[in-house]
Amino acid sequence: MKNIKLNHYLQAAIGIAIVICINVLANGGTGGSSFYASVDLTEEKRFTLTDPTKDLLDELNEVVYVEVLLEGSFPAGFKRLQRAAREKLEDFRARSGFIEFDFGDPNTGTVAQRNERRKQLKEEGIEPVNLRVADGDSKSSQLIYPYAVFYYKGRRQAVNLLENEIPGMNPEVALNNSIALLEYKFVNVIQKLESQEKPAVLFTAGHGELPAYETADLEKTLQEFYNTGRLILDSVVNIRPEVDVLVVAKPTQPFSEKDNFKIDQYIMNGGKVLWLLDRVAVDMDSLTTRREYFPKTYDLNLDNLLFKYGIRFKDNLVMDLQCSNIQLVVGFVGDAPQFDFFRYPYHLVISTGASSQHPIAKSLGPINLLFASTIDTVVETRLPIDKTILLASSNNSFFQRLPVGLDFNFLRYGLEKENFTKPAQPLAVLYEGEFDSYYANRVDPSMVASLEQLGQAFKPQSDRTSMLVVSDGDIARNDFDKRNQRVMPLGLNRNEMEGKGFLFSNKDFLVNAIEYLSDDRGLIEARSKDVKLRLLDAAAAKQQASFWQFFNIGLPLLFLALFGFTYNWWRKRRYAQQVGPHDE
């Protein structure tokens, strides 16, 4: 009898333990418990944190509090985003005890409270998404705030969790991109809130580069987490190593040998350079006022320097069937000019996202490049250099070698696909490795003397570093409304969408590029994560509905009944063996 009682007690204890474990795990899934664990069985390892993310979380020494404004009743897509954000934060908290988070709904409370909350969020730069929800035959609108607000060490930063949907893109793909980028967005903002000093990003000046008012939108975005400014190379002895990224944005005048030497030694000491260069000088004003216009190449005195690093531009202009519009005068009504829009193959529309897996360009919208040239990627160097093509024209491309006369006559006949017979042309390339100095065997004694005055030695070879080259300086240029003294958004092309305008992803690409170049920890690795979209086959699902209903509902119940029958039979048999005939 003692054995029977002990067996009953043991079974009861196991049952209680199972119930407790189930409750603990269930609470962990809702943020109500500090216990959380998971096993990543996905092919793309979507739930596995990257090593740089783990390292950053391990170094936290104060609480990071995250307020996610995604609580409430949402359509299925936003529920997916909400669930993914919760799971990612739980992954973070499982790694570090300094992660705390809550989900809130800004749309609760009285009308006055909601309006006050919305006003406050707008002042903080948090704008809602006006979602149209269909309910049967009726439609209603719902304001949703897909944001997470991070608080760390007395600082705060809001993060938009929703990636912009590109016209023509499946909404599920846009949502999938949003989910894939959650880890990167979260760890990126934590790193920036943790940094006590902002990295320095300086734009070169003194060679006809883009003026400050034409890079104002890019700099405004950067200034939240970077110190930006202008660096006149003639006015400094050298480029200090504290400069994290040097941006050369569309120079139009030649660099002196002394300036080239300063850039060379900056690179040799591990400096990162973002080269935004026009190879061909095309002036749209000259083009529109002449019957035929022959552009020339810029004489920047950079060719030999860049060639030593494995960088060379071809003397051509790339054309692409995938292009943006320009506006031209087609006639007059009285004295009033009449305009129309024409697709212009020299204004390239570069698709990224699906084609590029590099974190700089992955999941971005289209990018607009103007009068770009081919970057030659087969230049040999003494030391091996890794070259990654980040932007390229489409497979319906063409290029014209200089000299070439430009006019608008061909626009009268439209763009024919059979005229665009060249493969994709490289237009933005990332170079990574150890670079040889251009001045290794030709350094001037005065240059060496200037370094010795600073207590520095000439370096003939760099440590591992990186440079990014884009064959269009206008990628960084925003328009400026002189009449209203207003900076226009970088990437805005007002000739698109029949004059309504379209915002290209030029700024996102450049911000990602600067983040990559200045990121010594490799956190941007998380941006290359991919979450595969496995869409349901609606026809097959409808045809096999009965089978899957039984599989998901009936089969578990059948297994449960079979287990209960087997367990009761086993208990009766065991009880009969333990009691035996002599105990009756």
Q: DSSP secondary structure string, 325-393?
A: EEEEEEEEETTEEEEEEEEEEEEEEE--TTS--STTTTT---EEEES--PEE-----SS-EEEEEEEE-
Could you give the CA distance from residue 154 to residue 166 in angstroms, rounded to a whole number?
36
Could you give the CA distance from residue 96 to residue 84 in angstroms, rounded to a whole number?
18
What does the pLDDT read at residue 291? 82
pLDDT cut 70: percent of the chain above it? 84
357 CB-side CA count, 13 A: 4
Long-range pairs for 80-83: beta carbons < 8 A, 24 or more residues apart: 80/175, 80/179, 81/146, 81/161, 81/162, 81/175, 81/178, 81/179
282, 371 contact by CB (below 8 A) = yes
Could you give the CA distance from residue 444 to residue 462 in angstroms, rounded to a whole number?
19
370-399: average pLDDT? 96
159, 61 contact by CB (below 8 A) = no
Which pLDDT band holds residue 454 (cuts at 50, 70, 90)?
Answer: confident
Residues 5-18 have pLDDT tens digits of 555 555 555 555 55
Structure tokens at 346: 């020299």
Please, which residues have CB within 8 angstroms of residue 30's CB and are 6 or more apart in sequence?
Answer: none
Long-range pairs for 167-175: beta carbons < 8 A, 24 or more residues apart: 167/502, 171/77, 172/77, 172/533, 172/535, 173/533, 175/77, 175/80, 175/81
Which pLDDT band holds residue 28 (cuts at 50, 70, 90)?
Answer: very low
What does the pLDDT read at residue 569? 79
44-64: average pLDDT? 85
Could you give the CA distance from residue 2 to residue 68 in angstroms, rounded to a whole number?
56
Q: Which residues of 30-59 are buried (b: 16+ CB within 10 A; e: fewer)?
A: ebeeeebeeeeeeeeebbbbbebbbebbee
447, 261 contact by CB (below 8 A) = yes
236, 403 contact by CB (below 8 A) = no
68-72, 255-259, 303-307, 331-335 — which is least confidently predicted?
A: 331-335
Residue 204 has pLDDT above 50, yes or no: yes
Structure tokens at 529: 């994560």
- For residue 509, the SS3 value is helix
Tell me the torsion sign for CA atoms 551, 552, 557, 562: positive
Could you give the CA distance from residue 170 to residue 172 in angstroms, rounded to a whole number?
5
Q: DSSP secondary structure string, 244-305?
A: EEEEEE---SPPPHHHHHHHHHHHHTT-EEEEE--SEE--HHHHHHSSSB--EE---S-HHH
Residues 128-149 have pLDDT tens digits of 888 766 555 556 677 888 999 9
- For residue 159, the SS3 value is strand
Could you give the CA distance from residue 444 to residue 367 in angstroms, rounded to a whole number?
42
441-458: average pLDDT? 86
Could you give the CA distance from residue 69 to residue 126 in angstroms, rounded to a whole number?
10
Could you give the CA distance from residue 287 to residue 296 in angstroms, rounded to a whole number?
13
Residues 230-250 have pLDDT tens digits of 999 999 999 999 999 999 999
Question: Closest by alpha carbon to 228, among 198, 201, 192, 197?
Answer: 201
Looking only at the bridges linking them, the beta strands covering 296-297 and 323-333 are: unpaired
Higher pLDDT, 40 or 523: 523
Q: DSSP secondary structure string, 172-208?
A: HHHHHHHHHTHHHHHHHHHHHHH-SSPPEEEEEESSS
Question: Would you call 532 exposed, middle or buried from its count of C-beta atoms within 10 A (0-12, 13-18, 19+)?
Answer: exposed
